[in-house]
Structure 1
Amino acid sequence: MINYTYFLEVFMYEKNIKNYLIGSSLIFFTLGCFSNFLSIHLKINNLDDAFIGSILSIQTLGTAIGSIISGIFLKKYTHKQSVLSSVVLISSSCILISISLNPTLLLISSFLLGVGMSFQFVTESPYLMKVTTTENRMNVFSLNFSIKNFSMMIGTLIAGFMSDINLSTKYTLLIFSIISSLSVFPILTIENIKMKNSDRTLKDIITILKIKPSINIILFNALIGIGSGLVVPFFSMYIKDTMNVDNKIVGVIICISQLGIVLGGLLTPYLSTLFGKARSVVICQALSIPFLLSISMFKNIFIISVCFLWRTALMNMAQPIIQNLSMETIEEKNMNMFSSFIILTSNIFRAAGTFLGGQIIYYVNYEIPYYITSVIYIIAIVVFTITFRCEDTKNPVCN
């Protein structure tokens, strides 16, 4: 039976958890606005598509490079200092992007925004592992995941409302940028917690690469990254071009899918209790594949919308479990560097998938990437199953 007090637990946790979640929600509230309205802002101000593409690409590059920097940073400094650095980088770069149209400054600011995001992403899993207990860990990972996505959804909706009342995109972005800076206040109240770390970065990297589960997890994230890169960035273009629907309909579909992610994330602890952690990941991601294929097969906007909702919810709701299991495969002293490896791999392969997806759509059609992604996801599920086959059962192979 479901214990509904789980949904209120965020108010019951100690300050190190609660205030981190509040600070994180403000950051992702801002990122929700920027992820959907930055390109529109640049387009309105007569910057060409090629330059806008460069802005988005350099942000991904910043996240990839920043993931290594943040892993090294966490060897000397605490998680609190890392998150505060993230807040400073994200809020300052967002403010610069909002007020300037100078191409050089935009490129530098976008790169720094990516670096700031990487500090947030890399710090997240090791920090939550450190401040949680075995009993509440799965709940906290799930709440964190749902709160982030809910904040992004609300940020997108409010930014859309602000544009409907004819508020300049410049001021919309600027207001959201200032809101992100407010996250410094809850973060300042958390304790300076430092994990056990070795002082040898190269030795840590070699140690991680020698552990078979770690290699498999990196491979799994690479496959998921390239698969999502092939289809996710182009979904709005796909339904707009093939279904001939207006921007409002596209926005509603995207927001509904984000709500599906939020609700799915909240259900994750119950799935892991019912099926076990590893089985829950396999079940969710395997069930998402038929919905992914259905998006490319049907030309009905209602069917496509429902399939996109279920595909997005199922594929993403397992993410808190994946984060948790990934951290459990590694010693505490290597968690920060391992987290940076995962973020690096995911972003590089997602960027590669986006490039390949664009080429396939240009030279062939919109449907082919969905079939390729389905095959890649099946391979990823096999890799995950092999890696965690001992997690939920007493398998003789494990003994």
Structure 2
Amino acid sequence: MKQIDKIIFINVVTTAIISGVFNVFTGIHVKNLGYGESIVGQVLSIGSVSIALGSMINAYLSSKIGFKKTISIGLVFMSIGILGVSFFINPFLIKLSTGIMGIGYGFPFSSIGVLLIENSSEKERVKVFSKNFVSQSLGTVFASYSAGKLIKTFGKIFAIEKSIPLVYILCVFIILIGFYPLKNLKINDKVKSNKSKDFFKGFKEVMSGQALKFVIYNTIIGFGAGLVIPFFSVYLKFSLNIDNEKVGIIMGLSQIGLVIGGLLVPYISKILGRENTVVVCQLLSIPFLISIAFPQGIFVLGVSFFLRSTLMNLNQPLIQNISLETVEYESRALMSSIVSVSSNVTRALSMIIAGYLMEKVSYNFPYYITVVLYLIGTGVFYRSFKEEKPLRGGADE
């Protein structure tokens, strides 16, 4: 297995569990235990904050002990956390377990982009990030669809509230597969050299210039995303009365668009440019987000999910690439962590707000706020990056 493929494999395993299973069905699981949307929002927000915390811890630890060890620690934490969510019914313990899992996920989450960019040349980076994104999306599709089918099957055999925890237990075994490529993973010397750099001095570079502009943009988009994305499955299940299997299918179908988009990214970005591709795709996604708030039947809803997800996330390989190129290579682990913090902490806050709004006002209201924030965030990105040519590359240039 090639070096790049090993890195991508680890990302696929961890992302499939988090995005394809945990994020889709945890809200439903908490609702099945008898708790309201406010508790769901609190649980999901803790998961988001803990990912940010794990990313920051990883940025520091990876400069001391290396990415292989920090990713290994992350996989262990993920396993412990998801087991806790499976067995506990007390809301405090569920939140604690979600926090442990989020911290664990934050380690590989903030490592993958750095490892990819440092193990690829400038010319091949868009293709490498696109390959990673496509593989990640396929893993998420498979995980979401399979989890939905398994939950339905287990629900026929066991009590419905036990079906999701059983799937979570199976996820632990999948997480452990992530240790396989770590065994022979070789870390680039440039990444190892981060040990000699003062970790805290890196904040000065990250919180200035283009890097700061990107963090501001990411914060706005993250807040908007947190109002609706974590609640998609809850919205489908409890507002539209769609069963768990169909929830898994719809969420899985929305990821298929990411695969198509990921394959097209290198070609679209050559025509429009990286920055313009980000702007155009985000603007085009907004009408479909509005359509989800006014569902016209399951078919139209599924199509809207598919197109919104495709357009809003098609540019993720470009965004990740752009963000890491705004700083020198010694600060990329820290930049990756700051980006994670700016996105996840604001998502955590917006999840709590969204849970309250959905419980007290309506399931639709947060969508309107998200539309406004996406427009503002896209405007900030356009003004900040429209004339910026080429961004800084790594030391291999």
CA distance 1:21–1:105, shift in 2 (3 Å): same
- Contact 1:243–1:299 (CA under 8 A) maintained in structure 2: no
- Contact 1:278–1:385 (CA under 8 A) maintained in structure 2: yes
Moved more, 15-24 or 343-352: 15-24
> Are 1:33 and 2:31 matched, yes or no?
no
CA distance 1:165–1:366, shift in 2 (3 Å): closer
Q: Which residue of 1 aligns with 2:206?
A: 208
- Contact 1:99–1:174 (CA under 8 A) maintained in structure 2: no
How many Å separate the matches in 2 of 1:195 and 1:387? 32
CA distance 1:322–1:72, shift in 2 (3 Å): same
How many Å separate the matches in 2 of 1:176 and 1:94? 8
CA distance 1:112–1:137, shift in 2 (3 Å): same
- Contact 2:197–2:330 (CA under 8 A) maintained in structure 1: no
Q: Which residue of 2 aligns with 1:17?
A: 4
How many Å separate the matches in 2 of 1:384 and 1:244? 37
> Are 1:147 and 2:142 matched, yes or no?
no
CA distance 1:38–1:232, shift in 2 (3 Å): closer
Which amino acid in structure 1 is aligned with residue 266 of structure 2?
P
How many Å separate the matches in 2 of 1:161 and 1:246? 11
How many Å separate the matches in 2 of 1:117 and 1:165? 28
- Contact 2:7–2:112 (CA under 8 A) maintained in structure 1: no
> Are 1:218 and 2:215 matched, yes or no?
yes
TM-score, length of structure 1 as denominator length: 0.86
- Contact 1:278–1:392 (CA under 8 A) maintained in structure 2: no
1:190 to 178, 185, 189: 185
How many Å separate the matches in 2 of 1:99 and 1:250? 23
CA distance 1:300–1:41, shift in 2 (3 Å): closer
CA distance 1:208–1:26, shift in 2 (3 Å): closer
How many Å separate the matches in 2 of 1:238 and 1:61? 22
Moved more, 14-23 or 178-187: 14-23
> Are 1:128 and 2:116 matched, yes or no?
yes
CA distance 1:365–1:163, shift in 2 (3 Å): closer
User: Counterparts of 1:176-187 in structure 2 under 5 Å?
Assistant: 176-187=171-182
CA deviation vs aligned residue, 1:281-339 (integer Å, no higher than 9, x gap): 11111111122223334534333332221111100110110000111110111111111
1:295 to 292, 295, 298: 292
Q: Which residue of 1 aligns with 2:317?
A: 320
1:171 to 145, 166, 171: 166
Q: Which residue of 2 aligns with 1:356?
A: 353
- Contact 2:147–2:248 (CA under 8 A) maintained in structure 1: no
> Are 1:228 and 2:216 matched, yes or no?
no
3-state SS of 1:191 partner: coil
Moved more, 191-200 or 155-164: 191-200
2:103 to 109, 112, 115: 115
How many Å separate the matches in 2 of 1:387 and 1:195? 32
Higher relative contact order, chain-length normalized (CA < 8 Å, sep 6+): 2
- Contact 1:286–1:378 (CA under 8 A) maintained in structure 2: yes
User: Counterparts of 1:200-349 in structure 2 under 5 Å?
Assistant: 200-209=198-207, 211-240=208-237, 243-297=240-294, 299-349=296-346
- Contact 1:15–1:190 (CA under 8 A) maintained in structure 2: no
How many Å separate the matches in 2 of 1:335 and 1:229? 25
Which amino acid in structure 2 is aligned with residue 338 of structure 1?
M
Which amino acid in structure 1 is aligned with residue 262 of structure 2?
G
How many Å separate the matches in 2 of 1:232 and 1:39? 11
How many Å separate the matches in 2 of 1:40 and 1:236? 7
How many Å separate the matches in 2 of 1:319 and 1:218? 15
TM-score, length of structure 2 as denominator length: 0.86
How many Å separate the matches in 2 of 1:104 and 1:362? 20
Over aligned residue pairs, what C-alpha RMSD do you find? 2.5
- Contact 1:277–1:392 (CA under 8 A) maintained in structure 2: no
Deviation of 1:163 after TM superposition, in Å, equals 2.4
CA distance 1:18–1:324, shift in 2 (3 Å): same
How many Å separate the matches in 2 of 1:195 and 1:54? 38
- Contact 1:66–1:116 (CA under 8 A) maintained in structure 2: yes
Which amino acid in structure 2 is aligned with residue 67 of structure 1?
S
Q: Which residue of 2 aligns with 1:6?
A: none
Deviation of 1:135 after TM superposition, in Å, equals 2.3
CA distance 1:367–1:41, shift in 2 (3 Å): closer
